[in-house]
Amino acid sequence: MQQPLVSILIPFKNTESFLSQCLNSIVEQEYRNWEVLAINDKSSDGSRNLVNSYAKNDQRIQLFDNEGGGIIEALRTAYKHSKGEFITRMDSDDIMTAEKLKVMVEALLNHGEGHVALGQVRYFSHRGISNGYERYETWLNSLTETGNNYSEIYKECVIPSPCWMVHKDDLDLCGAFRPNLYPEDYDLTFRFYANGLKCIPSSKLLHLWRDYDTRTSRTSEHYAQNYFLQIKLHYFLKLNYDPKRPLTVWGAGAKGKEIARALLEQNIDFYWVCDNPRKIGKHIYDKEMFHFSKLKELPNAQSIISVANADAQTYIKKFFTGLDHKPMKDYFFFC
């Protein structure tokens, strides 16, 4: 039986230093039936010439120039030229493990449409990995181990952008790369969630994720925290919010204030609660701050939690358990 063709979409811009490692890791894949759609997003270094040299030696590698500007337009350009039954994305500065495509294809063949194939990831860097990235890697891999990625979708992006694979029909169902919403990988993850695509559990390390000072997620304004918060609130209001139920925001720090401002701008009423005695009883943006015990008075409330401290989150979970409130139904951690 003919192996399904896998289309690998690779936007690139000024990653000449890393592209050879990236492309070599694809050429050396155990799974052979793939095509690369490499999209040059106005590189000013030798990246385009390097990819062109690979394309001349391997007809599976195709080089195109971005028909627009930026990573979303580059993904659209790549997708337009793709012919694969299965679609995946790759970052031009990362490395695939040799079995990555094989493992993900087998997962999709075994589970069928309506699923997302995933894999474990590992950060690497010439200077070592920060504690923040290390914690994110551990958290992300723990979700992927069980396939419960969506259970904490409002905390952070729960599907790594360069380590997923789906049926083309499922990607089309989810809107592919049409929306102009950043961060584009987080937005796509929410659309997988909204359309009911199930995450296939994986314990295999399939992707090596490079960290360095000039990577796009560190330098582009599109990946600033305010963009993440906008995405979270957008999809919460669209997918999980019930306007017939009281809404609370727990926390009056920077994120809590940003959430409160956004809700007020949309004329969405809410109760604002915290445990800070210096803020309880005061007004912020003309909203009174209540002690979190206010939740005991609110029948069937929904709550957005903007408290990041791990110990505080443990206490908050116990508090909601005492109220018989359920995660992803009654309360949602936004950090």
Q: Where are the domains of the chain?
A: 6-223, 242-333
Q: In the CATH hierarchy, which top-level class contains the domain 242-333?
A: alpha beta
Q: What is the pLDDT of residue 222?
A: 45
Q: What is the pLDDT of residue 218?
A: 45
Residues 69, 74, 75, 77: is their CA dihedral positive or negative? positive
Q: Give every residue of the chain whose pLDDT is below 50, as ranges.
A: 218-219, 222-223
Q: What is the pLDDT of residue 216?
A: 58
Query: Could you tell me whether strands 271-274 and 247-250 are parallel, antiparallel, or unpaired per DSSP bridges?
Result: parallel
Confirm if 268 and 247 have CB atoms less than 8 A apart: yes
pTM attached to this predicted model: 0.94
Could you confirm whether domain 6-223 is CATH 3.90.550.10? Answer: yes
Gyration radius (Cα) of the chain, Å: 22
Q: What is the C-alpha separation between 232 and 236, in angstroms, rounded?
A: 6
Q: What is the pLDDT of residue 226?
A: 74
